[in-house]
Amino acid sequence: MAMTTEATERFIDRVKAAQQKFNEIKTERGIAGRLDETDREVLSQWHVTNIAWKWLRKDRGKRYDGCTFDNYQITNSKQQKVVDKLREYAADRSNIENGRGVLLFGTKGAGKDHLLMALAHAMVGIHGLCPHWINGVTLHNDLKKRDFDGEDNSASVGRFTTKPEKTPILWVSDPLPPSGALSEYQQRLFFEIIDRRYSDMRPTWMTMNIENGSEAEARLGAQAVDRLCHGALVLACDWESYRKVGEASR
């Protein structure tokens, strides 16, 4: 089946066209009436996405601000395969509509967060969708603080599960502690977030510094891993650490 023009046209190009049309008529009366419904929806979505994108770049910091697929350093065929798979994922909006997540696992320093920032960059430009990012340690500390402060637990996890417009995609950078497994308490709260998003078919992206699925289940909890992996794009990043390569080349 051939894709429609709207489906194949980049979101950012639709935004530029709508903004140009708006600028051409903004000195006239009846601006809202002169823009058709599609243009108004595009500009409204861009307003929401642009705010989310600014926050993502701020939260991720200068190191990740400009990360794209084009500036990811590829030195072997494994890296090329992963980048190609992520590009394919970004190009197909149905991955988001069907709740298909992304899980990158493997060596520390392999550039997994660079790759997901590149994926976020592509998702904003192609579809106008921006993920909500949070570091795993911050996530667990935040949930613990909210829960211990006496707030209802459903409200504690609700900000990641109840407002699709704010978290169409949840991106968690390594939810595991430096060593050992999550506590039973941490696993329970984490599973609740993953399970709700899984049930609502809302994708979760995640990076994990682990070797295989067995380690993930042992440290994160089998139930959460089962939902994270079901239907997801799961990619192994098992090449040498970029940081070690950089140090060796000096």
Sheet of strand 132-135, all strands in order from the earlier edge strand to the far edge: 132-135, 170-173, 204-208, 102-106, 233-237
Average pLDDT over residues 73-101: 96
pLDDT in tens, 183-233: 888 888 889 889 999 999 999 999 999 889 899 999 999 999 999 999 999
Provide the residue ranges of all domains of the chain, joining segments of one domain with +.
63-248
The answer to whether residues 101 and 28 touch, using CB atoms and an 8 Å cutoff, is: no
The pLDDT value given to residue 71: 95
Superfamily for domain range 63-248: P-loop containing nucleotide triphosphate hydrolases (3.40.50.300)
pLDDT confidence tier of residue 166, bands split at 50, 70 and 90: low
The answer to whether residues 157 and 189 touch, using CB atoms and an 8 Å cutoff, is: yes
The pLDDT value given to residue 85: 98
> Cα angle vertex 216, ends 98, 124, to 5°?
35
Question: Where is mean pLDDT largest: 22-31, 37-46, 241-250?
Answer: 37-46
Average pLDDT over residues 227-249: 80
